[in-house]
Amino acid sequence: MSPLLLALLLAALAAVIILALVLAMVIILVWMERKVAGDIQSRIGPLRVGKFGLLQCVADALKLLLKEDIIPAAADRWVFIVGPFVVFVPAVLVFVVIPFSRHLIVRDLNLGVLYVVAIAALPVIGLIMSGWGSNNKYALVSALRAAAQAISYEVPLALALAAVVMMVGSLSTVSIVEAQRQHGWFIYLQPIAFLLFLTAGLAEVNRIPFDIPEAESELVAGWHVEYSGMRFAFFFMGEYAHLFFVSCFATTLFLGGWSGPLLPPVVWFFGKTFAVIFVLMWIRWTFPRLRVDQMMGFSWKFLLPLGLLNLLATGFLKLYV
């Protein structure tokens, strides 16, 4: 077998494994979110379909598969069709550089953090395509809000990542975890960067309190108002895949990744990741939605100056301490 063919087969295998992992996590996280929401609201959550309601997500998936796929007559057909894929595919690609353990990683890129920043910026293009392609004023306004929100919160997010990279001296995700094994978790050494990352990550995933692009009280359902069936499911899966990724990335950057005593590295990694997911779900079902002016002002007037000050302080400590 030629080296090129072998490389292609390994890449295809890695893609299938990552896709299977993401789809499985989407099902688990949807069930978990319903249970967390029920607990916070003094409800039980799903319990009728399967034991503890575990098969409720399977029933929902079947419902979406069986629903009629409708494309509005006035829609820009090809833009409308491609939009959901542009949202979902980057949510799978970003897992290429996530180290679930020291050797359980698809590719340890030297520019891993930069790769994540580049790929994670693509879904907003899919949102704009979907809003524009729907030929619906509510969907278009939602898409423009999503673009404004993404631009606003990617700046403090990048500043948080820059502080971590500055401390390590490398963009490799594996190197970042190894540095934490030697010097301690960055949640203690970079608490401001961690809070910046978590806040900006919530905004990037469009979850409460930053779900302004999906504000149903103003925009019916946001950019996906004209979508049905499996096309809508791609947006739904994309949101939860991004939630899982943000939690994985937070674990990698600030919680020591796979490192920990006694238990296998993969167990440590997923344990920390689900702890972060729980916190993000807790926030969603606790805080009210922000207004669009509050959301934009919070980023430019508070998070951006805080990120710059934290970066300056990190540079000073690296040079003089």
Residue 228 has phi, psi (to 5 degrees) of -140, 170
Q: What is the pLDDT of residue 262?
A: 86
Say if CB 150 and CB 223 are below 8 A apart: no
**What's the average pLDDT block by block, 10 residues per block, for the chain (321 residues)?**
74 82 87 88 82 83 80 82 85 88 84 88 85 84 84 89 90 90 88 92 83 71 78 83 92 89 90 93 86 84 92 86 68
Dist. CA 145–CA 203, nearest whole Å: 12
Query: Is residue 8 assigned to a domain?
Result: no
Query: Is residue 192 assigned to a domain?
Result: yes
Query: Is residue 24 assigned to a domain?
Result: no
Query: Is residue 1 assigned to a domain?
Result: no
Percent of the chain with pLDDT over 70: 98
Query: Is residue 34 assigned to a domain?
Result: no
Query: The tokens of 92 are what?
Result: 């799978």
pLDDT tens-place string over residues 179-236: 998 888 999 989 999 999 999 988 888 887 887 777 666 667 777 788 877 888 888 8
Dist. CA 99–CA 76, nearest whole Å: 40
Q: What is the pLDDT of residue 249?
A: 93
pTM above 0.85, yes or no: yes
The domain total for the chain is 1
- Domain limits for position 316: 71-320
Query: Is residue 144 assigned to a domain?
Result: yes
* 3-class DSSP state of 32: helix
Query: Is residue 246 assigned to a domain?
Result: yes
Say if CB 289 and CB 215 are below 8 A apart: yes
Q: What is the pLDDT of residue 217?
A: 67
DSSP codes of every residue in 55-85 = THHHHHHHHHHHS-----TTS-HHHHHHHHH
pLDDT tens-place string over residues 136-146: 888 888 888 88
Cα–Cα nearest to 244, from 37, 36, 22, 56 = 22
Query: Is residue 12 assigned to a domain?
Result: no
Q: What is the pLDDT of residue 297?
A: 86
Q: Which residues lie closer than 8 Å to 189 by C-beta, 6 or more apart?
A: 167, 183
Q: What is the pLDDT of residue 231?
A: 82
Dist. CA 207–CA 279, nearest whole Å: 12
